Chains A and B, each alone.
Chain A
Amino acid sequence: MSRMTMIEAIRNAQHVAMSRDEDVVVYGEDVGYFGGVFRCTQGLQEAFGPSRCFDSPINESGIIGTAIGMAAYGLRPCVEIQFADYMYPGYDQLTQEAARIRYRSNGDFTTPMTVRMPTGGGIYGGQTHSQSPEALFAHVCGLKTVLPSNPYDAKGLLIAAIEDDDPVIFLEPKRLYNGPFDGHHDRPVTPWSKDDLGEVPEDYYTIPLGKAAIRRPGTDVTILAYGTMVYVALAAVKETGIDAEIIDLRTILPLDIETIEASVRRTGRCLILHEATRTCGFGAELMAQVQEQCFYHLEAPISRVTGWDTPYPHAQEWHYFPGPKRVSAALCEIMEG
Chain B
Amino acid sequence: MPENIKDKGVSCVHLTAARFKVYTGRRVVGEEEIDLKPLALFVPEPEFRPGDMPDFSGLELPKAGETRRPPTDAKAEDIRDLAYTIIRVMRRDGEALGPWGDLLDHDEALRGLKNMMTVRAYDARMQMAQRQGKTSFYIQCLGEEAIACAFQHALEKGDMNFPTYRQQGLLISAGYPILDMMNQVYSNAKDPLRGRQLPIMYSSKEHGFFSISGNLATQFVQAVGWAMASAIKGDTRIAAGWIGDGSTAESDFHSALVFASTYRAPVVLNIVNNQWAISTFQGIARGGAATFAARGHGFGIPALRVDGNDYLAVYAVSKWAIERARKGLGPTLIEHVTYRAGAHSTSDDPSAYRPKSESEEWPLGDPIERLKTYLIKVGAWSEERHVQTKAEIEAEIMALQKQAEKSGTLHTGDGPSPKEMFEDVFKDTPLHLRRQRQASGV
Which residues of A approach B to under 8 Å, CB–CB?
23, 25, 51-52, 56-57, 59, 61-62, 65-75, 89, 92-93, 96-97, 101-110, 141-142, 144, 165-166, 210, 253-255, 257-258
| Bound form: Cα–Cα A66–B233 in Å | 15
A165–B204 CB distance below 8 A: no
Q: A61-B252, A69-B228, A104-B193 are in contact. Are A93 and B221 (CB under 8 A)?
A: yes
CB-defined A-B contacts under 8 Å, sample of 12: A57-B262, A59-B255, A61-B251, A65-B221, A66-B228, A69-B221, A69-B225, A73-B233, A93-B252, A106-B203, A166-B426, A254-B432
Task: Establish whether residues A62 and B205, one from each chain, have CB atoms under 8 Å apart when the complex forms.
Answer: no
**Given A66-B228, A69-B227, A72-B210, is A255 in contact with B432 using a C-beta cutoff of 8 Å?**
yes
CA A51 – CA B231 in complex, angstroms? 9
**Residue in chain B with minimal CB distance to A209:** B430
User: When the two chains form their complex, are residues B223 and A165 in contact, meaning their CB atoms are under 8 A apart?
Assistant: no
> Chain B residues with Cβ under 8 A from A255's Cβ?
432
Q: B133: shortest Cβ distance to chain A, in Å? A: 24
For residue B278, CB closer than 8 A to chain A, the reply is no
Which B residues touch A69, using CB under 8 A? Answer: 162, 221-229, 239
Assess the A59–B215 pair: CB atoms within 8 A: no
Query: Would you give the shortest CB distance from B213 to chain A, in whole angstroms?
Result: 6
Contacts of B205 in A (CB 8 A): 105, 108-109
Q: Which residues of A contact B233 (CB under 8 A)?
A: 23, 73, 75
B221 touches A165 (CB 8 A): no
Give the distance in Å from the alpha carbon of A65 to the alpha carbon of B259 in the complex.
Answer: 10
Residues of B within 8 A of A67 (CB): 225
Flag the segment in B141-149, B194-202, B330-338 that touches A. Answer: B194-202
Q: In chain B, what residue has the closest Cβ to A293? A: B435
Given A61-B251, A89-B251, A102-B424: A96 touches B197 (CB 8 Å cut-off) = no
Question: What does the 1/0 interface line of B420-437 toward A look like (CB < 8 Å)?
Answer: 000011110011100000
Q: Are the C-beta atoms of A107 and B424 separated by less than 8 Å?
A: yes
Q: Is B211 at the interface (CB under 8 A from chain A)?
A: yes
How far is the CB of A267 from the nearest CB of chain B, in Å? 21
- Write out the residue numbers on chain A whose beta carbons fall within 8 Å of the beta carbon of B254: 59
In the assembled complex, which residues on chain A have CB atoms less than 8 Å from the CB atom of B197?
Answer: 104
By CB atoms of chain B within 10 A, which of A61, A92, A93, A105 has the most?
A105
A142 to B213 CA separation, bound complex (whole angstroms):
15
CB contacts (< 8 Å) of B262 on chain A: these are 57
B192 is an interface residue with CB less than 8 A from chain A: yes
Complex contacts, B222 vs chain A, CB 8 Å: 65-66, 68-69, 72, 97
Taken residue by residue from 210 to 250, chain B's Cβ proximity to chain A (1 for < 8 Å, 0 otherwise) reads as: 11010100100111111111111100000100000000000
Note all chain B residues with C-beta closer than 8 A to A257: 431-432
A225 to B172, CA, bound (A): 53
A102-B427, A108-B204, A108-B211 known; A66 vs B193 contact (CB < 8 Å): no
User: At the interface, yes or no: B258 with Cβ under 8 Å from chain A?
Assistant: yes
Which one, A62, A102, A253, contacts B259 given CB within 8 A?
Answer: A62
Q: How far is the CA of A154 from the CA of B218 in the complex (A)?
A: 31
> Quick one: which of B201, B204, B210, B430 contacts A254, CB cutoff 8 A?
B430
